[in-house]
Chains A and B, each alone.
Chain A
Amino acid sequence: MSDKNNNCQELTERFKNAIEALERDKKTMEKIKDRNLLQMLFANNTRDLAAIGISMSGTISDLNAVIQEMLRFFQKSGENQAKLAEALLQMKERQSETNRSFLQEMCKMAEQLLNDNKKINKISDVISDHDNRLVTKEQIDNLCLDIKECGLKRDLSSIEQLERICDSIKENLTSFWVNNNHKRTILLSVSYGNFSTIPAKELNEKQGYFVEKFRGELTSKTCSTGIWEDFLRNQCKINDKEMVAMSEVVSGVIDAVTVSEGDRYIEFRQRLTGLLEDFIDLNMDIEDQYVPELKKVRKRLYEDQFEIVLVGEFQGGKSTTFNTLCGGREISPRGLNGGGIKTSAAIVTAQNITGDEKKNGLDEWAEISWLDKTAIKERVCDLLKIYDFDEATGKALLAKTPINTPLEKVGRLLKIAWEEERDLERIDLLRIATLQFRLLSSSNLDKYFQKEIVSVSEFQTFVTFPCDWAVRWETGSEADFTLEESLFTVVDHVLVRIHSPALARLGCRITDCPGLFVSKWDTERAINAMERANAIWYLLSGAKELGQHDEQALTKIKDNKWQNKCFFSINRCGNALKTAAIMKADTAKLKSLDFVPEQIYMYDAFLSFRLSQIKMLDSNLLQEKDFECLAMELAQVSSVEKSLIAELQNDKKRSEDVLHGMIEDHLRDIREKEILLELSDEFTGEDLAKLMAVSGSEDILNAIEKLLITERAKSILVTEGSQRCLDVLKKYQSTLLLNEANAEKNLQLARKEVAEAEETLNKFIKEYKEEFKFLESDSVDKSLTDDFLESNERDVLQELNERSIKICQKLWHDTSYWKGARTVDRLTEEKIKEEFLSLINAKLKIFNSELKINSVRFKNDLWHPLLSKVEKMKKRWTELQATNEILENLDLTNLDRFDDFKFDSFNQTLDKKIDTPSFTMAPLMWIFSWFKNANKRIEEFFREKDPIGTAYLKFKGDTENKQQIAKNLGAPRLHYMKILEECFANMHKTLDQYKNSKIIAANLSDQERKEIARQSKRDRENIIEPYTKNIEDFQTEVNRFYAK
């Protein structure tokens, strides 16, 4: 603020001085006597200014400079205007006769500008006011009404108004993601309301100017003027030529300032792959080792490993969404015939196949990762720890290292557990453990484990949750499940590789996981998946507002600080009004949970799914499985006649009709009959486009694309893309240069050079290994551990106390536990321990991710010394390189990867080592068994006995725990060490290669050497150098674009 004030004062002061100087300058005053100097200055017209000899007169040019500056200052904001006007008025009173006229002019001008700006500001304010909340249709409508209103109060010409509106759009919507529907609405209001009077000719002239003006630097994007015409004429029924032209201008500007980033990224990516393609095609005959490397880069560009995980309540449309992204294929089992029962049991990830990659002769396949046997046993034993003793003998059954317990004993323990357990959640876990145990004991397990690559239709048997799970357990036992049915308990995750246009477009992986809070097992898996993923797509139910278990899930997300990788969509289950009401309620609840999503995408999973199926049907890409599901839904039963499937498969028209029918039913279901009435019987392309807009899938795909872009674009395009290309090319170039140089070398000379190079390198590496020795000590890890435990103590204790009280209250509420103190203590303790560990883990993760920003110790003891030493090393190496031709080709590689270290991706799970002393609440038993509501007593108990505080102290004091944390915190250090080692090893390796080729080259005859040198020179000059330049240019452009 004070800055601005100073600026304002300084300007008026300068203005005053300039005018006074001019007044004194009699000669110039004479010269401009009859001219309106101020007007000339304001217009800033070079010719007029030259006529009065501005360049000759210092006083005028000073005045000009200050006036221009004032105008710029003035136009910046309303606040500035008010200030400047005030300052000028004050000056007016103190001025002499001569320059009063100047001031009057200035004030008049200011007033006019002020008025104009007020108008613009109003539009801008209106737009920016809505800008943050461009969510519901209602809000957009309001915005449009406001635009219209502004347009009505006109004393500007239409063209001027248009320009102002475009200005506002640019100012307010730049870098904002406005979805197509919203854009259309804004467009409509602009075109209907304001500009019926602009002659088409004038518009045509202006159109190019506008687009050019507002497109600014976004040069390579083709503005989409023209594509809107169809929309405006057909859908908005605008037939007026002027209005169409006018709207196209506005749409062009909106397009230019809003979506361009996404398109820009795609274009960048295409350009780079295009460049690679060209090079690979044209230069297949160049040295073998380089082409495959470039191919790898190309592949990586297509198959970025960005992963999005779908999260939400069970039966909330996760699998449907997943399948939509898989191109409408039935990949993940979804609830058919109305759903209502849990279907997915494992984590399934889908990724597009680029090119004609095949595996085991399969065009499409699923890669199954099985849990390994030890891991399974570990899980089972882990679960059994709390039941661990034999009723008959009273001895512990698990071995000291539980994993060494013989299977037979594990079986006995399982039986004990079954008898003892009353908690349904744990019973479910026991069931899964029982099935796992049975698989472990089965000799057939290995046979299944060999199936690592299976066909897409086959893998589903391994991940489908038995639909009558609860029913079968009710009366039966594990024997009611076939081995095959229980395999889902030992599948870690499945990667499905299929051809899907949607996945290809996004270039990322998408993961479906079991619904949250159906059982503990599922929740655990979902949380693991969330941790791994780069983004979390949270599906809110459109049937009802966010409930308590959503709140729980969101709290978990918050605990782990995953909010920023979380985005929301709402799955439409009713008409727009209903969904908007739910969305409003959800937004408020999300806000109370500290989630402030930029937008919640309204999205219709079912409709999108069916539409993508129609598309796939059209291109004959649906498989038998898809038809089977379709038939099942048509007949509303779970097993159908083969003949019906065949009928659907063979008769495209019939299947199409079925799908159309389903869409119609769905539209009725969500009470959007108006759309239904607009559709023609045949579902023309236009109809499908309309439905697509209703489904909202385009918007959400755009959003994901944008997410990918903001998160990954630069790294994909530069670090993983062009930079890698350049590295390869540089290597190739230096080989060629070496070949050229070799023409002059004989054997003796070559040997000498090699020996020298070797010696220098060895000396260099030895010296710097010494320098980096400080990385080997783990003392920093230890002090970081202390820091961690210290800094989080208060938070953890507070959080944990609150949660533990809740846990106790929940458990004690249930009378079935009143029977035995042991059960309650055990369960309470178990749950609190779990919560404790998960909280510590979460905190550790956060601590880790902030190490480089927040930890002074890390910065001072590790990071800064490392950087400065590396800098020194680099400098030294450049010096050494100049001394020897071979060394010139050896680079310090990968050192930029220091920065690459993903602080939040290394393994942070703590083993369950924690003591929770004095948790036994037996003395409280009588209170609980006597009083109905013991909540207050529980709180008191925690306050007085402070069991959590004691537990934390013990946890802190335990060396083993500390070691574990230190190991985690030491991960970056180890990473740095590894990079350095790799770097040195690489140098040795490269030297060896050069050494050999050098000796071989030196062995050749002069003639041959010269021939090779000539060829190398030709390749270098004609191919490599121009191509390198292309890529470098590309990289500069990308860097410039993303630096903004």
Chain B
Amino acid sequence: MQNNKLKPKGDKPLLALAGQYQNGKSTFLNCLLGGYYAVEGNGTVTTKYCAKYRFGDCRMTRIMKLRDENSVVWEAETSFSAEGTLKEYDKDSLLEVSVYSPMLEHIDLLDTPGYGANKQDNTLADMALDTADFVLLIVAKTLNMETDIPFLKNLTAKNRHFSIVLNCNGKMNPASEQAQKICETIAAQIVNAKLDRNYVPLSMDMPVYPVNLLWAQCALGYLPEAENLDKWDDVRHYLRVKDLTPLSLLNSSNFLPMRNMMKDFVSSFFYFTPAGELDLVKSVTDNWTNELKNILEE
């Protein structure tokens, strides 16, 4: 299994978060894990390397080569100091973070660099996806012809299945008419681009799932207190609700239903993608790679 370095046999399925840069992949990941693990962006490209999150009893961070699981080059307790260290190593290093989070009991998560910002990140994102079993695409508006669609085409070419989550920016309510409209459009774009063969809707009545990650972030309260209070204040103001509780906000953000659905979905998805088929695909692709290697070497 040369092609599957990230995931030794018998390991949990790997769910990759992908999307254009600055669409909220890291925020989504933090929300899923319920803590501040991945650095969230502020307009400029933030995640410049792949980071894999796996279940562990305490927070541990290791850096290794993306192509070689055994080459651990660095180890520490926090993930943030790792970022600085990572710059010293090659770009294609992999950051592996162990986290004690219920979400990770059945699945590993992979945070990827956003595509559409520069070539290098694109390649890295692409490379990382080779190893993923399933891809969750985070988008902020309707799909872009130049970046999103080719990315998805590439994904289907590799026979990866994917699902889409819409991150409603700023104050857009996931339940609003506009959010619904965007979701419908995206779903139609998928069909139009003939990508539906590999598309797995999270829910049948809502093929693209809208969530407001800003609200979810507030409700989960993993940011430093001052920052969080500040955001709470804003959200309360937008929603014009006086007795806003974290739970009600988590509900309005659509994140709670989404998370529950994800849990079910993660366990059920691998039933209907037979492992046999996956293995077959992999053995064929491995074969190609070897052939190619031979020819190049000659």
Which residues of A does B touch, CB under 8 Å? 314-315, 336-342, 422, 424-425, 427-428, 467-474, 517-520, 542-545, 547-549, 552, 573-574, 577-579, 581-582, 585, 636-638, 665, 668-669, 673, 810, 813-816, 930-933, 936
Contact = CB atoms under 8 A, between A and B. Distances in A.
Contacts of B172: 337-338, 340
A810 B149 CA distance: 12
Contacts of A581: 42-44
A545 B178 contact: no
Given A338-B176, A665-B238, A815-B157, A579 B191 contact: no
Contact of A341 (B168, B185, B285): B185
Given A636-B173, A816-B153, A930-B291, 11 more contacts: A314-B141, A341-B182, A468-B185, A544-B43, A545-B44, A548-B122, A573-B43, A577-B42, A582-B44, A638-B181, A665-B237
Contact of B116 (A338, A548, A673): A548
Contacts of B191: 474
B206 interface: no
Contacts of A544: 21-22, 41, 43-44
Contacts of A574: 42-43
Contact of A932 (B45, B119, B289): B289
A545 to B, nearest CB: 5
B189 A470 contact: yes
Interface in B95-123: 116-119, 122
B204 interface: no
B142 A578 contact: no
B2 interface: no
Contacts of A315: 141
Contacts of A424: 145, 149, 192-194
Nearest to A428: B145
20 contacts: A337-B177, A340-B169, A424-B149, A468-B185, A470-B185, A471-B184, A474-B187, A543-B169, A544-B41, A544-B44, A547-B20, A547-B117, A549-B144, A549-B146, A574-B43, A579-B43, A665-B171, A665-B238, A930-B288, A932-B292
A517 B20 CA distance: 15
- Nearest 10 CB-CB pairs, A to B? A544-B22, A338-B172, A470-B188, A474-B188, A337-B178, A340-B141, A582-B43, A815-B157, A471-B188, A340-B182
B82 interface: no
Contact of A340 (B142, B146, B292): B142
B140 A548 contact: no
A638 B177 contact: yes
Nearest to B130: A932
B234 interface: yes
Contacts of A337: 172, 176-178
B181 A636 contact: no
Given A337-B177, A932-B288, A519 B117 contact: no
Interface of B: 20-22, 41-45, 116-119, 122, 140-142, 144-147, 149-150, 153-154, 156-157, 168-173, 176-179, 181-182, 184-185, 187-189, 191-194, 230, 234, 237-238, 285, 288-289, 291-292, 295-296
A547 B184 CA distance: 26
Contacts of A637: 177
Contacts of B20: 547
A517 B237 contact: no
A636 B177 contact: yes
A585 B117 CA distance: 11
Contacts of A472: 188
B174 to A, nearest CB: 11
Nearest to B173: A636
B181 to A, nearest CB: 6
Contacts of B149: 424
Contacts of A673: 230
Contacts of B178: 336-341, 636, 638
Given A549-B144, A669-B170, A422 B194 contact: yes
A24 B193 CA distance: 99
A545 B288 contact: no
Contacts of B122: 548
Contacts of B41: 544
A547 B237 CA distance: 33
B167 to A, nearest CB: 10
A475 to B, nearest CB: 8
B5 to A, nearest CB: 16
Contacts of B42: 574, 577-578, 581
Contacts of B296: 936
B44 A338 contact: no
A610 to B, nearest CB: 15
A338 B185 CA distance: 15
B181 A427 contact: no
A341 B144 CA distance: 11
Given A930-B288, A932-B289, A425 B145 contact: yes
B141 A517 contact: no
Contact of A810 (B116, B150, B188): B150
Contact of A816 (B182, B187, B194): B194
A855 B132 CA distance: 58
Given A338-B172, A468-B184, A931 B146 contact: no
Contacts of A638: 177-178, 181
A559 to B, nearest CB: 17
A577 B43 CA distance: 10
Contacts of A577: 42
B223 to A, nearest CB: 13
Contacts of B230: 673
B118 A548 contact: yes
Contacts of B141: 314-315, 339-341
B292 A931 contact: yes
Contacts of A579: 43
A542 B44 CA distance: 10
B145 A519 contact: yes
A568 to B, nearest CB: 16
B295 to A, nearest CB: 8
Contact of A474 (B119, B181, B192): B192
B122 to A, nearest CB: 8
B123 to A, nearest CB: 11
A947 B42 CA distance: 46
A813 B188 contact: no
B194 A473 contact: no
A815 B292 CA distance: 17
Given A424-B192, A545-B43, A932 B185 contact: no
A669 to B, nearest CB: 5
A224 B140 CA distance: 47
A673 B169 CA distance: 19
